[in-house]
Structure 1
Amino acid sequence: MSGKIVLHYFNGRGKMESIRWLLAAAGVEFEEVFLTKREQFEKLNNDGALMFNQVPLVEIDGMQLVQTKAILNYIAGKYNLYGKDLKERAMIDMYVEGLGDLMDLITILPILPPDNKQKQLAKIESKAKDRSLQLFEKALAHGQFLVGNQLSRADVLLLEITLMLQELFPEILSTFPKLQEFQGRMKAIPTISKFLQPGSARKNPPDEAYVKTIKEVLSHLFK
């Protein structure tokens, strides 16, 4: 195992994208190994790299980490994106868990049958506008960051999700000025600005090729 951080996943967003975002915000370089064939997944599994027979897989600090939340927790703690004490960490966790509910609805969208996508889009828009965005608009009235006086994983995730929501619903932030200001501040952070530039490791919205690859590599889940 090399000293570099290596991400094993598909060449697309999915559950790995938040990990890419967090590493990028921390200014940490990483390499990626893209899964394109079933045999790659089976080899990782047979070699014991996938404890729960799932990806994402991140090689970091001599470990093979799986389970997205565990990976994000480790990265946040390692790179000072997890608050200054336990109380701040608890607040960060609450925000992240709440945002995770919305992220799950968005992440599953590409693999849904066509007939279900419109219903899912309506569900995402309703949850975002009626609950999530109102909550975070109010939270940002108290300062530049969601928790304390420094950048945390909650801020990074909020930026990621609001940008994804704008891809689906371009005007969704029109009545949320604090969130718009927040986006502007976050985009001005040099490491995040770099990640938002063309040619970075940030992935494009999912397309049919991405979904086809997932279904081929993870064929055991789509039987």
Structure 2
Amino acid sequence: MPPYTIVYFPVRGRYEAMRILLADQGQSWKEEVVTMDTWMQGKLKSTCLYGQLHKFEDGDLTLYQSNAILRHLGRSFGLYGKDQREAALVDLVNDRVEDLCLKYVTLIYTKYEDGKDEYVKALPGHLKPFETLLSQNQGGKAFIVGNQISFADYNLLELLLIHQVLAPDCLDNFPLLSASVARLSARPKIKAFLSSPDHVNRPINGNGKQ
């Protein structure tokens, strides 16, 4: 049996970055797909620590928050920088990814019709710091921090991929981010995952908006 189990709705949501990470690290995992009908029955919800999914099982360890899971996998696979300085920078990047992810989720689920244009207009200001960080690290030819991939790279990659669906030209003025997406997406195991039916057929969000 795979050591990892993902318990989540049948969407990419906040879990696709973890799936990309696991795939790139050559790991297998089990999916327990939760339908909305099952969730609304309340039995599973009552067992979740915070009354919400994400739920992730690593053997006898059960975790809930998505970023706690990413950090756990980062420590498990050496994806947390080479030292404390790099670890701090990885956290800095990931926290900024979380900030933009929350703005995206708010747009998708509460403001899509009336707020999309304003969101896309403001998007360059949210993406520029990532471009700056790349430029400061080996001229943008490596990863977001240091010379090895981190869990923040996977999280940022998924964030950028879904934004390219929302606003296809959003990276046109960010050559380093655009190159980073292409470079990471071309890693053999990530490329295989991104082209797999599981990924291609999995909706980005639960309400059909993207």
**What TM-score does the superposition give when structure 1 sets the normalisation length?**
0.80
Please give the residue correspondences for 1:32-71 in structure 2 after superposition, counting only pairs within 5 Å: 32-40=31-39, 42-46=42-46, 48=47, 50-71=48-69
Residue ranges of structure 1 left out of the alignment (5+ in a row): 212-223
Instruction: Name which of 129, 135, 138 aligns with 1:138.
Output: 135
**What amino acid is aligned across from residue 6 of structure 1 in structure 2?**
T
Which amino acid in structure 2 is aligned with residue 138 of structure 1?
A: S
Q: How does 1:24-173 map to 2 (within 5 A)?
A: 24-40=23-39, 42-46=42-46, 48=47, 50-118=48-116, 121-122=119-120, 125-129=123-127, 131-140=128-137, 141=139, 143-173=141-171
Identify the residue that residue 179 of structure 2 maps to in structure 1: 181
CA distance, structure 2, for counterparts of residue 113 and residue 186 of structure 1: 31
Q: How many residues align?
A: 207
What TM-score comes out, normalization by structure 2 length?
Answer: 0.84
Identity of aligned residues (%): 28
Please say if residues 81 and 87 of structure 2, whose CA atoms lie closer than 8 Å, have aligned partners that are also in contact. yes
Pairwise CA RMSD of aligned residues? 2.6
Distance 1:45 1:136, change over 3 A: same
